[in-house]
Amino acid sequence: MRDVAFWVLAVVAVAGGVAVFRVGSMARATFALLGSLVAVGLALLLLGLEYLGYVIILMMVMEMLVMAVFMVMYMMNPAGLMPMRMTHNARWAASVAGAVFVLLATGTFLLPEPVRHGRPPADPTRALGLAIMGPKMLVMMIIGVAILATMVSSVVLSVNRRHPGRGC
């Protein structure tokens, strides 16, 4: 059952990725990308990678929602629902993508599988956090608050404060 669920999520992730470039608006592309990345996060949960799965789902949901809000605020095309082309220089992009795919696929068949050295840590989530952040955790937490303050400030500054009847 888990195998079937994994392959269904894999198909959903790929279909969402393809939809990003096939839909005609930024709003639809944003939500197609969101669906694709949530499917990837759920697939990671099925593989037993709980921390990475939850992080991908939470980060991508918040990122795509923030992107949608900024897109509505700042684009010439409010809400991004008017048709537009989502690809540029399609032939060159397809050539590069095909070459990279062939290179990576060849590497997976020619390179030997890695050999595990040692045993997994008792708490893999803590070990991953230390490996990624190390002693920089406090700095990253402060940067996160600064980014949030920047987003809130830009929303406040973009709001039109003139209301009818107030004489402003």
Each residue of 41-56: pLDDT tens digit? 999 999 888 888 888 8
Each residue of 94-107: pLDDT tens digit? 899 999 999 999 99
- Of 48-62, 73-87, 139-153, give the lowest mean pLDDT range: 73-87
pLDDT at 89: 80
Residue 82 has pLDDT above 70, yes or no: no
- Distance between terminal CA atoms of the chain? 63
Residue 74 has pLDDT above 80, yes or no: no
Asked whether 33 and 20 are in contact (CB, 8 A), the reply is yes
CB neighbourhood size of 88 (10 A): 7
Buried b (16+ CB within 10 A) or exposed e, 38-75: bbbbbbbbeeebeebbeebbeebeeebeebbeebeeee
Residue 75 has pLDDT above 80, yes or no: no
Residue 10 has pLDDT above 70, yes or no: yes
Please state, in angstroms and rounded to a whole number, the distance separating the CA atoms of residues 26 and 13: 18
pLDDT (average), residues 28-47: 91
Between 55 and 138, the more confident residue is 55
Residue 101 in tokens? 């795919």
Residue 64 in tokens? 């795509």
Residue 86 has pLDDT above 70, yes or no: no
Between 152 and 101, the more confident residue is 101
